[in-house]
Amino acid sequence: MDRPVAIITGAGRGIGRATARKLAELKYHLVLVARSHEQLAETAKLCGHGLIAAADITDPIAVDAIVRRTLKQFGRIDAMVNNAGMAKVIPIDQTTPRDWRATIDTNLTAAYLFARAVWPIWRKQKSGVMVNVSSVAARDPFPGFAAYAAAKGGLNAFSLALAREGAEIGVRVHTVAPGATETVMLRASFTPQQFPADQTMDPADVADVIVQCVRGGLRFSSGEVIYLQKKMR
């Protein structure tokens, strides 16, 4: 049980899967969280291991259960990667209250629920690191991204507050905010004509930065927002 333990949300594909694979190479025990059991099973297969937790991360009962299960299985929690997200391009006058709540809850409230659940464990351990995956949209949103931008902007501020709170107990909180990344979520909203593939990042590139945060290579950036965007020649 001396191997470090990481919980990763949105681990069924994209950035979450890429992060899981890199942490698996570093011998982390993994708890893989998403809605789709099938996608999580594929991630676990690619990683060679992984505790699968198919759940709704906006449900406080489900989140608490995941954290309890992780602690029971491994005895500790070292890293929490809040990567799960949803983004729909919807004009504000067509954004329903249900759309708004779903976007805020998935991108922001879930991070609060996991933070609330792991914090007592980290206080006891006197260590822990959280990486919250935000977006460039928090500072430069496209039209139709009002709910998504609001959620990610809130996540940035939430992360800074947590970093300041965590400093007293040895906890770091990082925010990684990528631009366009070649994921299913991106392609659900934007066509290759709007975002050509040569202008997008690979999920593995974002995962590299997340892992640096987890491992301490970027420990002095706790509380800051690390923006990532592919530079065009």
Secondary structure of residue 208 in the 3-state scheme = helix
Check which CATH number belongs to the domain holding 46 and give it: 3.40.50.720
d(CA 24, CA 75): 18
233 in a domain, yes or no? no
DSSP code, position 230: P
Instruction: Say whether pLDDT at 192 is over 70.
Output: no
Residue 233: pLDDT above 60? no
Q: What's the number of domains the chain is made of?
A: 1
What local confidence, expressed as pLDDT, does residue 180 receive?
67
Is the pLDDT reported for residue 199 higher than 90?
A: no
Model confidence at 230, in pLDDT bands (50, 70, 90)? confident
Higher pLDDT, 15 or 192: 15
- Give the model's pLDDT for residue 191: 67
Instruction: Kindly state whether residue 51 falls inside one of the protein's structural domains.
Output: yes
Query: What's the average model confidence in pLDDT over 203-225?
Result: 96
Is residue 148 among the annotated active site residues?
A: yes
| Residue 57 forms part of a structural domain | yes
At residue 193, the pLDDT reads 62
Kindly state whether residue 121 falls inside one of the protein's structural domains: yes
Residue 112 lies in a domain: yes
State the pLDDT at residue 197: 64
What domain range is 57 assigned to?
A: 5-228
Per-residue confidence (pLDDT) for residue 86, from 0 to 100:
87
pLDDT, one tens digit per residue, over 40-99 is: 999 999 999 999 999 999 999 999 999 999 999 999 999 999 999 988 889 999 999 999
User: What pLDDT, in 10s, does the model give residues 147-190?
Assistant: 999 999 999 999 999 999 999 999 999 999 997 656 666 556 66
Q: Residue 197: inside a domain, yes or no?
A: yes
Q: What is the pTM of this model?
A: 0.92
Give domain status of residue 37, yes or no. Answer: yes
The total of other beta-carbon atoms located within 10 Å of residue 189's CB is 16
- Candidates 37, 68, 86; CA nearest to 184 is 86
